[in-house]
Amino acid sequence: MAAPPLALVTGANRGLGQAVAEALARGGHRVLLAGRRAGEVAREVDRLVAAGLDAAPLPLDLCDPDSIDAAAASRQRGPAVEVLVLNAGVYGQESDRSAARRTLATNLVGPIRLAAAVAPRLASGARVVLVSSAMGELAALPAAWRREVERARDDAELVAVADRFVATVEAQREPGAATLSYRLSKALLNRLVRRLAVDLAPRGILVNAVCPGWVRTDMGGSNASRSIEEGARGILLATRLKRDGPTGEFFRDGKPIAW
């Protein structure tokens, strides 16, 4: 009997990641639930296993390079990853002076490192989905930072833009930094999507960004317009694209949107 296809979902202990992980498991995948809150991840894995689904925990802190390396090392043996969903993300508080640094580390630098570490273990024809946001659309950025983002061509340049932004914010301590940090992190993440799509295309791997909309999660809040199930639907659509499906695109509800 063939082994079930393997999926890895970050931020899978709650919210969108939890919903996506469960849907993939119910669709026949073995799902690795990755997250930094080990207790929450373990409880979610236990819940899925009790429901007869195939799930396992994967300790992962996207702000810790050693944690990323350890998670990737654990996948050096066994089946290749058929579906990778990079969902984990944060939106800092305006009162938090470290919000910019933590936001860029979690939303951009961590995914860059994880994607690089897991790429050799992606199956041919795998689906890679990076959960982004329309708040990262280039048109929403200040002109100077938009130019910085558009000039970034590789991982090192993406991280360099993030570092310059964090240094600027921490030096100036201007109001609105948390919102701009989130916008920039997602704009840079979208650049990563386009770079990965080109690099992984020879292996038939489809890489896309998905905006789930404003969702009622811990981050989105109770006033958000969409349920978790509605937000997860677009992410799942991108994991189920046909082999000749689009790559290097930005979607919401299965429809392309502007970068």
Residue of 145, 182, 251, 259 marked active site? 182
Q: Round to whole Å and give the CA distance between 224 and 238.
A: 22
- 182 catalytic per annotation: yes
Q: Round to whole Å and give the CA distance between 159 and 111.
A: 11
Q: Are 83 and 127 in contact (CB under 8 A)?
A: yes
Beta carbons within 10 angstroms of residue 230's beta carbon: 16
Q: Round to whole Å and give the CA distance between 9 and 18.
A: 8
Q: Are 113 and 159 in contact (CB under 8 A)?
A: no
Distances in whole angstroms, Cα of residue 239 to Cα of each of 7, 27, 251: 10, 11, 12
Active site residues: 182
